[in-house]
Amino acid sequence: MPQLAETYACAPSTERGRGILISGDPKSNSILYCNGRSVIIRYLDRPLDVQVYGEHGYPARWRGTRPMESGSPPVTCQVRCGSGEPTMSSC
């Protein structure tokens, strides 16, 4: 069976009259943004190292990183950056 060799990140989605929300994390040198139902984590110093969370039932809206304890609507993915490397949790 073929194995996935590389993942190339998509660009942030755009919509006329709305800005693009991109969040950065200086500790891990990464940026985070949404595209449709997916949340993308890209590392600026490792462009081919990409994490994609795509299990949203509705279009994702990025509101920034915050602790897991603070509740949020189901359309917002929560991202942990505690260990220096951002990791995605289920939404």
Position 65 scores a pLDDT of: 53
Percent of the chain with pLDDT over 70: 67
Tell me the torsion sign for CA atoms 81, 83, 84, 86.
negative
Model's pTM, two decimal places?
0.60
Structurally, the chain folds into a number of domains equal to 1
Position 52 scores a pLDDT of: 86
Residue 11 placed within a domain:
no
Which domain covers residue 25, as residue numbers?
A: 21-91
Residue 78 placed within a domain:
yes
**CB-count exposure of residue 60 (10 Å: 0-12, 13-18, 19+):** buried
Position 63 scores a pLDDT of: 62
Question: What tens digit of pLDDT does each residue of 33-46 get?
Answer: 888 888 888 888 98
Rounded to whole angstroms, the Cα distance separating 31 from 28 reads 9
Question: What tens digit of pLDDT does each residue of 54-69 get?
Answer: 887 877 776 655 444 4
SS3 (DSSP) at 41: strand
Within 10 angstroms of residue 46's Cβ, the number of other Cβ atoms is 10
Rounded to whole angstroms, the Cα distance separating 85 from 5 reads 22
